Structure 1
Amino acid sequence: MDENAFHDWLITCFGKEQGDAVWQQISQLPDSIREQLLSQDPSTLPNPAEVQQLMNAFTVGGLNTVNEMQQTVQDGPINIKLAKSLALQRANADGSRTTVSAEEGAAVRKAMSEANLWLDSACEFAPPSGDPQALTRAGWVEGTLDAWAKFAAPIAASMGDALASVISERLGDSFNGEIAGMFAGPVPIPIPEGMKDPAQLIKLLGNTSFAMQLGHAAGVLSREVHGGFDQGIALLSNPAGALIAQNIEEYTASLNSNVEDSFGNISEEETAADAKTDKADADASAGEQHSAMDAQTEALFNEIVQPDPIPQDEVMTFLALREAAHARLFSAVPWLMPRFEALIGKYARGISIDLDAMEEQLRDAESLDPDSISNAVNLTKVGIPDTPEQREAMASIESLLALVEGWVDCVVWRAGMAHLPHIEQLTEMARRERATGGPAERTFESLLGLELRPKRMREAADLWSMITAADGPEARDAKWTHPDMLPSLDGGANGTAPNSQNPTDPPSGGNDWDAELSKLLGEEDS
């Protein structure tokens, strides 16, 4: 690699003053090390824009001085400032709106107002205090990230302890010594005084790595979630919930685009078949009659079979129903979030780290960005297989989350079936998104290492519907009084739930869909 090219790369990354200073330090290295450094392929150097973003995030995250680093370690297992900085970078990128327009705000308020009005007759829980919000993507990050960090803190702390334990075993007595410096390839990186204790450095590494993973996850989800409860838990600081108008607008366009593409393909196939038929038909008059019949058939097809685009206000109202139902449940059941947190803590206590896998993830990182680096602390990639206690905690988390989402599906269907013409399509779309990995599934998998089975949520929705049909909404909602009163997904509701489906129940989708879902998840039917 040409020296001038490397010098220019340093200046592009760090600015003229700092770039020149780094170059001077490199120039003073022994010839053998400098030659080894300059022998690298220029294409392997990190993208300067990625370096700048990371440096800016580190500045905001308080990683500029030794005192800031020490304070970061003392503040907890996750560097929340760094996580928020990275998440906001992603949330504000590529056309994200920085404000909510008056029109968007009015649409959100109208949808949430209608949703709460309809829910009054579908469930026994009252709406929480406060007004629902209309948020930007950045506003969602600001409103949820502190709760994310609190929720994930037990996992981050256990990962840090596990990492320190593994490294201590590998280093032996050296772990109690002092680190004079580190190497990034052949380039020595001096360790400042006050941070040479290996235990401190490991804590800082874990603190920073998990913050990068959290920031990456929150930033990605900020562009996909529709409201404050899409992860199935209460993360938003406003208990009344919120909707992200821009994401709902893009989601509606995506829904209708998929429908148009599907029927466009059908029309193209029919047109091709008609052309072949017309070419083979030698009788001109018969061909005219055939064409007329084709036109009538196409008109009938478009009128009866091809669905109309789903209006955006209907999509927003459906999502508002889900948001408001979640808000009512979490507000009325004070033990629900503490229960989730306790189960996460139980799972976290058994975490073990495969250091070889972590090293491999870091080595395989394609670039210097949070997307690549966050894999190094992704429990699905570096965690050692679960203990029996962890599997028990995971099953409890999965069941509780399924009961929450199933209850929401049940009451949303009953509240909206008389008002939303496309509620069946919207409900099925929400379920299919879970099957392919929705926000809740990806949050628990990437951040907590928990792989949830969406099929359980479908089973829970059917169970709540049967309980409603048998005992009524009041008895159904009374089961949330205490965890011990919740129905079992394995045994039904005290053995009294009927097998037949009530006309006002959400469609179960039939055995064919369940079979396909099982294939998709690689499960056997339970």
Structure 2
Amino acid sequence: MAEDDRSPEEEFQELIRQLFGGAGGVDPEQLSKLSGMDIDPAMMQQLMQQLQQAFAAGGPDGGIDWELTRRQALHIANQDGLGITSGQRGDLDEAFALATLWLSEATAISGLATAPQALTRGAWVEATLPVWQALAEPVATSIADALTGALSEQAPDDMQSLIQGAGRFMRTVGGSLFATQLGHVVGNLSKEVVSGGDVGIPVMPDGEAAILPQNFSDFGEGLEIPEDQLALYIATRELAHARLFRHARWLRLHVISQVTDFARGIRVDTSALEDLAGRFDPSEPDELRRALESGALLPPRSPEQDTALARLENLLATIEGWVDVVTAQATGRLPMADRIAEAVRRRRAVGGPAEQALASLVGLTLRPRRMREAAAMWQAVTDAVGVGARDALWDYPDLMPTADDLDDPAALVARLEARARGEEPERDELDDALARLLAGEEPAAPAAEEPADGDDDAPDEPRPV
């Protein structure tokens, strides 16, 4: 068949072959023939260029190219071009210095080895991106794999060999779209967060504390609270959060592993993806992006995921509740501390637009829904046994309060008071077994079952069936 005799559909397939075959540029004359398919040639050319760039930028072995996330996030974070003035930096340095002194009276956990700092939005993106990548990678991989499978099923029979041969490319397209969307979310999140610990999980490097002056000013608008009091409160809360994670080295991994375990349980709604692939219009390349943004490709959570989410929310609430109590104790000298605390809690409970977008993208809401119960528990512990015994609960993972302790702080307080009096807790079978193991004794053999009445002559070996 002569080239000029090909149908628009055949012309479109030839463009796809050029794209997957790595032929480089796409012939503009071929694009002009797409008008017979009601496809805008200019839009198609733009889409082709974007896809070819995605192929060229794909990660190793067709993996996710997280550099796309970084570039997109930094593009959004640095749009205003504003830096940090010497006045802003000086004010925050003073707030951090005083907050450090106040915290020394409110907690037994020692200070940071690294000086807290004022960060630009772009610097916050650079510092926190590894955590966002770890959080999102399981979901990105799932979407990329599902996109490959769905588009392969929707392709015509005469293009199956071509689609199968381009599996790596199709996977890269899905991964690149997700990576770009994550960059969009993280970039917008950099405009909302006030401090390093603002999102509840340890996104900053271990032992580092920071405040974003650009966002701090926005947070204070409309609160009618003196800026110096607001700075002191936020600095104290940020330092408490950073001190906790530096002291309990295991806690950071504990939180991140629970987040990633939840994310690995996410499966893409293949029926929704297949429906999208079946009606995908190349003249509307934003449709897949909108589906990612809205969370339409993520099915409702499974019961296992609901359990994992409840466990994670309890953990985040336990952390935030401790930070809340310590901050309140340290900032008792501030006349408006209670008003600021309520504003912070309300802001954390509602979440900003970028945090909501993150929830749609990875199906996870990072909000400590039980923070008030956790704060009440930590306050009860503080009143009963003091600061030192309270903070010692972070020394080892098995000492940390559980969800049951949030429900019934009295039981935890009773155990801690008994320990303070020198009373040993009641031993159980696990304690006895551990003691024998440490002593080098052989494990106790399980007790033999007594034969049932009337079965004294039962054979030692089971009868053959």
TM norm structure 2: 0.72
Letter in 1 for 2:315: L
| Aligned-partner SS, 1:382 | coil
2:309 corresponds in structure 1 to 394
Identify which of 74, 81, 94 aligns with 2:61.
74
1:111 corresponds in structure 2 to 95
1:26 corresponds in structure 2 to 31
| Aligned-partner SS, 1:381 | coil
Does the CA contact (< 8 Å) of 2:117 and 2:210 recur in 1? yes
Query: What CA deviation, in whole Å up to 9, does each residue of 1:228-273 have, x standing for no partner?
Result: 1111122123632111111111221x233xxxxxxxxxxxxxxxxx
Q: Equivalents in 2 of 1:111, 1:373: separation in Å?
A: 46
Letter in 2 for 1:140: W
Identify which of 154, 171, 187 aligns with 1:203.
171
- The change in CA–CA distance for 1:81 and 1:441 in structure 2 (over 3 A counts) is closer
- The change in CA–CA distance for 1:23 and 1:118 in structure 2 (over 3 A counts) is same
Please say if 1:228 is aligned against 2:196.
yes
Q: How does 1:272-421 map to 2 (within 5 A)?
A: 309-358=224-273, 374-378=289-293, 380-418=295-333, 420-421=334-335
State which drifts further: 106-115 or 451-460: 451-460
Query: What CA deviation, in whole Å up to 9, does each residue of 1:396-433 have, x standing for no partner?
Result: 11111111111111110000012x21111111111111
Q: Equivalents in 2 of 1:202, 1:106: separation in Å?
A: 51
Percent sequence identity over aligned pairs: 35
- The change in CA–CA distance for 1:24 and 1:220 in structure 2 (over 3 A counts) is same
Q: Equivalents in 2 of 1:442, 1:485: separation in Å?
A: 33
Does the CA contact (< 8 Å) of 1:88 and 1:219 recur in 2? yes
Does the CA contact (< 8 Å) of 1:365 and 1:373 recur in 2? no
Q: Equivalents in 2 of 1:422, 1:136: separation in Å?
A: 27
Query: What CA deviation, in whole Å up to 9, does each residue of 1:281-325 have, x standing for no partner?
Result: xxxxxxxxxxxxxxxxxxxxxxxxxxxx31112111111111111
Q: Equivalents in 1 of 2:354, 2:378: separation in Å?
A: 20
Q: Equivalents in 2 of 1:81, 1:209: separation in Å?
A: 12
Give the Å deviation of 1:478: 1.5
Give the Å deviation of 1:360: 6.9
1:90 corresponds in structure 2 to 76
| Aligned-partner SS, 1:207 | helix
| Aligned-partner SS, 2:68 | helix
Query: What CA deviation, in whole Å up to 9, does each residue of 1:446-503 have, x standing for no partner?
Result: 34312355431122111111111112111211212233322234433361549xxxxx
Please say if 1:153 is aligned against 2:137.
yes
1:64 corresponds in structure 2 to 53
Q: Equivalents in 2 of 1:86, 1:440: separation in Å?
A: 14
Q: Equivalents in 1 of 2:119, 2:63: separation in Å?
A: 28
Give the Å deviation of 1:328: 0.3
Q: Equivalents in 2 of 1:133, 1:339: separation in Å?
A: 26
2:120 corresponds in structure 1 to 136
Does the CA contact (< 8 Å) of 1:127 and 1:328 recur in 2? yes
Q: Equivalents in 1 of 2:219, 2:304: separation in Å?
A: 39
TM norm structure 1: 0.64
Q: Equivalents in 2 of 1:115, 1:359: separation in Å?
A: 54
Give the Å deviation of 1:25: 4.1
Identify which of 387, 390, 408 aligns with 1:492.
408
Give the Å deviation of 1:159: 3.6
Identify which of 86, 90, 94 aligns with 1:102.
86
- The change in CA–CA distance for 1:200 and 1:116 in structure 2 (over 3 A counts) is same
Q: How does 1:476-487 map to 2 (within 5 A)?
A: 476-487=390-401
| Aligned-partner SS, 1:32 | helix
Q: Equivalents in 2 of 1:162, 1:312: separation in Å?
A: 50
Q: Equivalents in 2 of 1:31, 1:442: separation in Å?
A: 39
Q: Equivalents in 2 of 1:456, 1:365: separation in Å?
A: 46
Q: Equivalents in 2 of 1:331, 1:367: separation in Å?
A: 48
Structure 1 vs Structure 2 CA RMSD: 3.7
Give the Å deviation of 1:331: 0.7
| Aligned-partner SS, 1:398 | helix
| Aligned-partner SS, 1:383 | coil
Give the Å deviation of 1:366: 12
